[in-house]
Chain A
Amino acid sequence: MAGRNVSRPWRLPLVILLASFLLVGPPFLSAYWVGLLTQVVILGILAMSLDLLIGYTGLPSLGHAGFFGVAAYGVGVLSTTYHAGLWTSVAGGFAIGTGLAALFGLIVSHVRDVYFLMITMALGMVLWGLSFRWIPVTGGDNGISGIPRLETLLGLPASGPIPYYYVALAVFVLCSALMTMLVKSPFGLTLQGIREHEPRMRSLGFNTWLHGYVSYVCAGAFASIAGIMWAYYNGFVSPTYLDLTASSELFLMVTLGGPATLVGPVIGAGAIVILKNVISAYTARWLLILGIVYIVTILWAPQGLWNLGRERRS
């Protein structure tokens, strides 16, 4: 289904256009816009990782920002409290985010639909509570600030936001390539089979639990990568990275852009980041406008922007 591009010929040119803009555009943009684009590519990784769950496996997670946030905390704690080096912090953040996904996966992988939604939401709240209350480690509400700059650690020139942007873009390209390979592989096709009809897949002899579990861990791993990038981008971590608002905004990015497309969630992330920042600069009623945008999308593109023109699934 993901590969059926024939009916929507505008897709390929648009992807090429957006990709070339992301690649060559930033040097011509102001520092502020490069900063926003950096946010778009980092949150794009995160939205794609959630798409693996929502779109491809049919598991609606409302706690996905948890892994993002935990990995960011990993980097924050290691690089400030323990003064660890770059690669130790990155590896530590990745390990703790992915490890947690592996642990939580054991709890959530046997449930589906709304039960999955509720349990992931609860686990997300637990992580938020931990970040808020485990003060000696996380600094509580105040978070952890003073994470050293990635440019300095990598020996890049720290002038302006361009170097960091290209680091983030490289990570983004790598992650999207890996995720595309994942969803096109036999494993990815099995996930889509589970999404469409799990009992049938089970009767065909697939271990659907294991597939769901592995997909959950993969999604957690990619979310951790986004979290690491986010921690270095902002230079601090705080409990708002992994609260319910963050998880539901992430959910919106995927559904607004179009689940089961990978490109869609990136567009959703871009649309939300840019709309929020641009509109709120002009009016205090920006939430109202954002709400209208969501409603219009639901009415005219119920399967997301990137699926515009696709017939409703029965």
Chain B
Amino acid sequence: MSSAVLQSSTRGRATTESVAVLVCLLALWWLASHLQWVSKVFLPTPEATLESLVQGLSTGELAGFTWDTVVRMLLGWLLASAIGTALGALIGASATARTWIAPTLEFLRPLPASAVMPLAISLFGLSGGMVLSVVAFGAMWPVLLATVHGLASVHVRLREVATALQLSRTAFVFKIGLPNALPDILAGMRLSMTVSLIVAVVGEMIASQSGLGQAILLAARSFRASELFAGIVLLGAIGFVSNALLALLEHQFLKWQRH
């Protein structure tokens, strides 16, 4: 799901009407929970959720879980971006490498990132390191594929310029290939972040590692709906903030595109 359309979503501004719609939805939630259209076991009231949120954050418990998840996500994402760009550059720099390897990459693309978790468990056991390795491995692919594509899409004219100037292969990759691939790589890194969060949460659930993933799983098992919802809100917040920050970064790096 690497469509740039998805990432940029609906460019718009928050009008008063849209705020009103959101408020309506909140009101609907309030009604549904208070009037028991859905059992309180499944749907906590907004106030209960807020209370769990505030309490969890002030005692530091939820804050701690959030921090654990964020660190896992960020570390994995950084590793994935570095390795993905490096491997992608190696593969993408050579047309021969691309021809032989690209079909395998296409086959691996639709695999769920969490699919290597059983293998990782066998190798590393149920540990934080295991989760991190799967996060990094899973999140690596969008960046790797984006880098390969970005390098492959260098216009033939620029290749000829490089040949005419007698640029070495390394110089070509760093001065022409990678800059050309930068928009793709940044888009890939944004997708990577989404994958990182997902795999981090799944890993926490499976391997009982401290974090929001484990917290909401335990909350569900003990029928503590308000805590479950509080955790979901926090996960949504992480997703929102990380995406917004990356969008800002992308904006900065790609200034030359907007002239």
| A pairs with B | no
